Amino acid sequence: MESAPDAKSATTLIKVFILADSTKELARLTAAVRSDPSLDLEATSLDRDVLSDQLADLEFGDSVVVLEHSRVHHSGRYSPDDLTAESVTRVVLAEQSGFADAAAAMKEPDSANRAILPAWAVDEEILAAIKAASAGLIVIHPDAIGEFYGEGNERVTFIAEHSSREQQDSPVQQLSPRESEILNLLADGLANKEIAWRLKISEHTVKFHITSIFNKLNASTRAEAVAIGARRGLIIL
């Protein structure tokens, strides 16, 4: 008789990577992330290239949040060979002078930016932003909201740019019964190993189905696939 997956893996944790510009800030953010049992701190770094190498070791399809604090602006778009373009969500902590750059990056098509917080955000705000961004939501701190208003105080639309993949004219591809089953298990937070155990199939087969789900839903992360599935009524609540 097969044993159930480890109790520790019963709930899929949010994988968090931290990039900071000082040892003091790195220590602060590390302590904040470690204080929340729903977050799994994977790595911390003061060097962007080192962090990119660590991200490259991730399994395709993993939902990952990079918590980044840096006074040097980096575009929300990444080169094709950077894994972050496929599966990483960024929560950006910016100085006030960097709000405009962070907002501009968020408005770009296929941007990885999903949250903008001020560098002085408190731990509770940072943790809430990580969880919301991982769930596919966009987070703008009140201190940075002014960057999303144009002349005359009209609101700048940017949400549609992030959802453009769903608005293409191509017909929606139907999920197979097995893919629908796996999508619902993803919504329950199960990891590949747990899904394989539950359905009595190999992890390789699970990965194959997840890739197919991503392609059919035009999603690039588990959270995005679940969000799209929920909007289309594919998730059984």
Residue 38 in contact with residue 13, Cβ under 8 Å?
A: yes
Residues 37/43, Cβ–Cβ less than 8 Å? no
CA distances from 169 to 12, 182, 217 (A): 34, 26, 13
**Residue with more model confidence, 27 or 79:** 27
Q: Which of 89-103, 107-121, 160-174, 176-190 has the lowest mean pLDDT?
A: 160-174
The per-residue pLDDT for 150 is 54
The CATH number that domain 7-162 falls under is: 3.40.50.2300
Residue 88 has pLDDT above 70, yes or no: yes
Average pLDDT, stretch 110-135?
87
**Taking the CB of residue 22, how many other CB atoms lie within 10 A of it?**
12
Domain at 170-231: CATH architecture: Orthogonal Bundle (1.10)
- At a CB cut-off of 8 Å and minimum separation 6, what does 66 contact? 16, 17, 18, 19, 51, 55, 84, 88, 89, 90, 91, 112
149 φ, ψ (degrees, to nearest 5): -120, 135
pLDDT band at 61 (very low <50, low <70, confident <90, very high): low
Domains of the chain, by residue range, sit at 7-162, 170-231
Whether the predicted model's global pTM rises above the 0.75 cut: no
